[in-house]
A and B are shown apart, each in its own frame.
Chain A
Amino acid sequence: MSPELFNARNVIVQGITGSHGTFHARAMVAAGTNIIAGTSPNKAGESVDGIPVYKSVADIQADHVVDISVIFVPARFAKSAILEAVDSKVPLIVCITEGIPIHDMLHIRQHLIGKSSTLIGPNSPGVLMPGVNKLGIIPAKLGLPGKAAIVSRSGTLTYEAVAGLTGRGIGQKYVIGIGGDQVRGTGFIECLDLFQNDPDVDQIIMVGEIGGTDEQAAAEHIAENITKPVYAYIAGHHAPVGVQLGHAGAILGSADESASAKTKALRDAGVTVSGSITELITSVRD
Chain B
Amino acid sequence: MKLLEHEAKTILSLFKIAVPSSVLVHKGKTTELDLPVVLKSQVPIGGRGKAGGIKVVKSDKKLNKTIDDLFKLDIKGFIPQTLLAEELLDIKHEYYVSMIIDRATAAIQVVAGRDGGVEVESNDADSYLTVGFGDLEIGNGKANFDSVGQALADYYDLQGQAFVLQDLVENLYRCFIKNDAMLIEINPLVLTTDDKLVAGDCKMELDDSASFRHDWKFEQTEAEVNFVTLDEHGTVATIANGAGLAMATVDAVANAGMKPANFLDIGGGANTESVMAAFAQIMEYSHVKTIVINIFAGITRCDEVAKAIIAARDQMPGLPKLCIRLAGTNYDVAKVLLDKNNIKLLPTLEACIDQALEYTS
Contacts and interface: CB of A to CB of B under 8 A. Distances in A.
Q: Which of A98, A105, A154, A156 has the most CB of B within 10 A?
A: A156
A110 B106 contact: yes
A182 interface: yes
Interface residues on B, range: 35 or more
Interface stretch (B162-170, B202-210, B308-316): B202-210
B241 interface: yes
Interface in A217-256: 217, 233, 235-240, 243-244, 246-253
Contacts of B210: 101-104
Interface in B223-259: 225, 228, 230, 240-245, 247-248, 250-252, 254-255
A156 B251 contact: no
A98 B327 CA distance: 22
A57 B333 CA distance: 39
B138 A103 contact: yes
A207 interface: yes
Nearest to A187: B104
Interface string A55-85: 0000000000000000000011000000000
Given A248-B205, A251-B120, A275-B251, A106 B296 contact: no
Given A156-B244, A156-B298, A214 B104 contact: yes
Contact of A251 (B111, B136, B177, B350): B111
Interface string B313-340: 0000000000000011100000000000
B138 to A, nearest CB: 4
A154 B244 contact: yes
Interface stretch (B4-12, B16-24, B86-94, B179-187): B179-187
A156 B183 CA distance: 28
A256 to B, nearest CB: 9
Interface in B68-121: 98, 100-101, 103-104, 106-108, 111, 113, 120-121
Interface of B: 2, 46, 98, 100-101, 103-104, 106-108, 111, 113, 120-123, 125, 128, 135-139, 177, 180, 182-183, 185, 203, 205, 207, 209-210, 212-213, 225, 228, 230, 240-245, 247-248, 250-252, 254-255, 260, 263, 268, 296, 298-299, 327-329, 348-350
Given A100-B209, A236-B247, 14 more contacts: A101-B207, A104-B210, A106-B107, A139-B298, A153-B244, A154-B242, A156-B244, A156-B245, A247-B205, A250-B120, A250-B122, A251-B120, A251-B125, A278-B349
